[in-house]
Chains A and B, each alone.
Chain A
Amino acid sequence: MTLLDLAIIIFSAFLLLVITLWKRKSPAKLREIPALTQLYRTLGLSVEEGTRLHISLGHSGLLNASAGSALAGLALLRQIAERTSASDRPSVASAGDPLLGLLAQDTLQAGYQAAGVEELYLPSTGRVTGLSPFGFAAGAMHISQNENVSTNIMIGHFGPEAALLTEVSDRENVPVIGASDDLAGQAVLFAYTQDALIGEELFAAAAYFDAGPMHVASLVVQDILRWLVILVLLGGAMIRTAQFLGLL
């Protein structure tokens, strides 16, 4: 890695801190994302109707490049656990990686603690359903079919095997809210779900559930960095074009 990479990380960290301090004072204004609006509604309905939410965190490990999506999934799980902890049927989280499974259990417990009902927490609500992508999907399908699930929330790293879980949900008339950092997984979720979360919307989910000012600040930092990337790409293209035309 170069010093430029280090500069980008330090710049992003600085921006994140400054914008967090600013966002503490001013309320967040977020654009509407239909899938997250639906998810917000689903949480309330699930508690009222006494049904269960199944949060599937994908099969990403924490020692590889897709760990970011797993952490984003855990951040959302934390909010969901806190809001649905009082439900008759507690939310169930499934993971396709043992470390992610352990963190899912810890996150669920933290959500119950925050809601003041730690005694209701069941360790069996955080599960490792399989260690290969298809094994994980098969185990998650079993939860969706047999545990009175009202909504399947898929957030994390999913490849094409996401279609197996969405197919089962479709057959059981269970709505799916899905987001993946994998392109094949995103295509599958786009085809199968009413409102899919595309690209970086996966990382925005927790901010829409009042996870705190730093989550909102993360979205602003992402926007600023995205504009910088766009400017660099356009600038690079213009310089190359000018070189090609002999102007430079």
Chain B
Amino acid sequence: MRAATAFAVFITIATGLLMLGSYFFSPLIFIRTLFLNWAIILAGSATLVGFINLILVHTDKVRRNEKGSVYSALLVISLAVTFLAGFVLRPDHIIMKAILAGIIIPAEAALMGILSVSLLYAAIRLLRRRMDLTSIIFLITAALLFLGSVTIPFFGEIPVINTFAHWVTQVGALGGARGILIGVGLGTLTTSLRVLFGVDRPYGGN
């Protein structure tokens, strides 16, 4: 192991153990606060690095005239304009607020709209893609939950389906979701332990 990697591993393990210890031994809380503040500053710096990475990748695409380079050019121009405007005018300026409220939020809302149509389309195509018992249960449950959440004009809620939908969301789905989340929690625990043991080293080194 190279000296630099060994040093990085040592720093990671020591920091991880101190952070973990701070949750159990109150005298170490100040270390957690200190490290978290450092991490927040580093995350802010990483955002700038990510910003530069995004610009480099897309200017390179424009330079090489690759497929979709028009979108890359559009992205670089809008990124540069927004960044400069934010830098000069500050984020609280009316123009910056207008960019947020008039472009970014509506664009994300439009993507959300597309999402609902995409999901409906996926549900329709699910049985063509995979015809098995779990897919059938998935589709029937989704359809019944939709029916259970609507009311019929002049009649009100659909009695049996509404009760069924309530049972599914409060018992069946909730139990399943908790089971999945317990599994995810256990996976997170063992992944974190591997990082603490220095086996998983996403910060580089073999």
List the interface of chain A (C-beta within 8 A of B).
1, 3, 5-6, 9, 12-13, 16-17, 61-63, 65, 67-69, 71-72, 74-75, 78, 98-99, 101-103, 106-107, 109-110, 113-114, 123-124, 126-129, 131-132, 134-135, 137-139, 142, 145-147, 160-161, 163-164, 166-167, 181, 183, 186, 188, 190-192, 194, 198-200, 202-204, 212, 214-215, 218, 221-222, 225-226, 229
Contacts and interface: CB of A to CB of B under 8 A. Distances in A.
Contacts of A98: 43, 46-51
Please give me the 8 A-B residue pairs with the lowest Cβ-Cβ distance, nearest first: A68-B188, A203-B187, A128-B50, A200-B183, A98-B50, A146-B68, A98-B46, A218-B190
Main DSSP-derived SS at the B contact region = helix
Judged by DSSP, the binding face of A is helix
Given A98-B43, A109-B204, A160-B119, A191 B193 contact: no
A146 B111 contact: no
Nearest to B124: A191
A1 B191 contact: no
B63 interface: no
Interface residues of B, number: 66
B73 interface: no
Contacts of B121: 167
B113 to A, nearest CB: 11
Interface centre among B57, B107, B138 (most CB of A within 10 A): B57
B119 A110 contact: no
B23 interface: yes
